[in-house]
Amino acid sequence: MRIINRYIATNVVASTVTVLLALLGIFTFFSLIDELEAVGRGSYGIGQVFVYVLLSAPSLAYELFPMAALIGSLLGLGGMMRDGEITVIRCAGVSKLKVVASVMKAGVMFVGVAVCVGELLAPPAESYARQYRSMAINDRIALKTQNGFWVRDGDSYINIREVLPGNQIKDIFIYEFDAQSRLRMSTHAKHANYIDDRWILSEISQTILSDDGVDNRLIDRAVWDSLLRPDLVAMIAIQPDSLSVWTLIKYIRFLNNNGQTAERYEHVLWVKLTYPFASAVMVFLAVPMVFRANRATSVGQRVLVGGLIGLGFHLLNQASGHLGVVYGIAPSLSAGGPALAMAVIGIILLSRTA
């Protein structure tokens, strides 16, 4: 039985890796075409486009993993069914459930790989990709460090420690220099809101340096005229989908402690927790689909069916997330619902398979 387990898992894994590479190549090509529209903005050239697309590849691979697992499992098991290998295995006394167990060992492997890519590789790569792109497109964005975002706006240098939802930023340090590059004013604001096309700073402490000495003052609120816009900050700020589970947990805790809504981030957290298991569910779903098919089913038909189901799952997953936020559905249910639905469909199909 160990040999059979290894043989089935090898076929499923090999087919899935092949499909994943093919899908990744196709979707990366489309991403490359989309990015070409930004060529010429700032110093963003063809070389920078290729670097950005390659850095975004891990996140794209993570999103494609369930679809690749389904199509790859259909191809791997379908090839064994076409060659009569599944029939021989069943005739050798291996039950249907044991075949399912052998296939699911590959599914468990996919879960592990998906977790590693989604938690360890994709977040830092996506973070650097967005920073790299923003630096090339807009020279006012300088860099992102452990102490927040550094931005240049004319003769001023700005440090933003926290980017919050709703066009809000927190802990802003503004250093203004004169034409001789001498520091003339240092300003710190605890909060800033972007209202009516301008920033409103609050709880401000300001230090003014002049030839006559140093003047310190406190200001409750003030208007900040700056070329910096929320969309420019968002170019560097990582979207919730690209954050790791631990980072999301910390940010949700921060929002709750400050009386802000964290519903969107809670949904993303549950998606992160359940999405890797979607790959295993897709592998499981492929088993009854192959058992119910006949040997005459072509490779193209299997790819088409797998692609349609995988695309349908992706759209259902996206729709359930938005509907969950709009209608107040529990994040655990809205995020895990599509994978659970696919698992139930797989169980029903398997129970009706001879």
The per-residue pLDDT for 57 is: 93
Cα gap 314→83, rounded to integer Å: 31
Burial class (CB in 10 A: 0-12, 13-18, 19+), 237: buried
What is the strand order of the sheet 148-153 is part of? 141-145, 148-153, 156-164, 168-177, 183-195, 198-210, 213-224
- Is the pLDDT at 104 greater than 80? The verdict is yes
Using one digit for the tens of pLDDT, what is the confidence trace for 252-265? 886 677 676 777 78
Q: What percent of the chain has pLDDT over 90?
A: 15
Using one digit for the tens of pLDDT, what is the confidence trace for 195-223? 888 889 999 999 998 888 888 999 999 99
Cα gap 130→56, rounded to integer Å: 9
Cα gap 238→163, rounded to integer Å: 10
What's the token pair of residue 218? 């406190």
Cα gap 182→211, rounded to integer Å: 11
* Rounded average pLDDT over 279-302: 77
The per-residue pLDDT for 21 is: 94
* Rounded average pLDDT over 109-119: 89
The per-residue pLDDT for 188 is: 93
Alpha helices for 83-95 (secondary structure H): 85-91
8 Å CB contact between 222 and 201: yes
Strands 148-153 and 141-145: antiparallel
Cα gap 181→158, rounded to integer Å: 15
Cα gap 188→167, rounded to integer Å: 18
pTM over 0.75: no
Report the number of secondary-structure helices (H) and strands (E) in the chain: 10, 7
Segments making up each domain of the chain, as ranges: 2-137+255-351, 141-227
Cα gap 164→162, rounded to integer Å: 6
SS3 (DSSP) at 141: strand
The per-residue pLDDT for 327 is: 74
Label residue 304 by pLDDT band (50, 70, 90).
confident
Instruction: Count CB atoms within 10 A of the CB of residue 231.
Output: 10
What's the token pair of residue 143? 């860099």
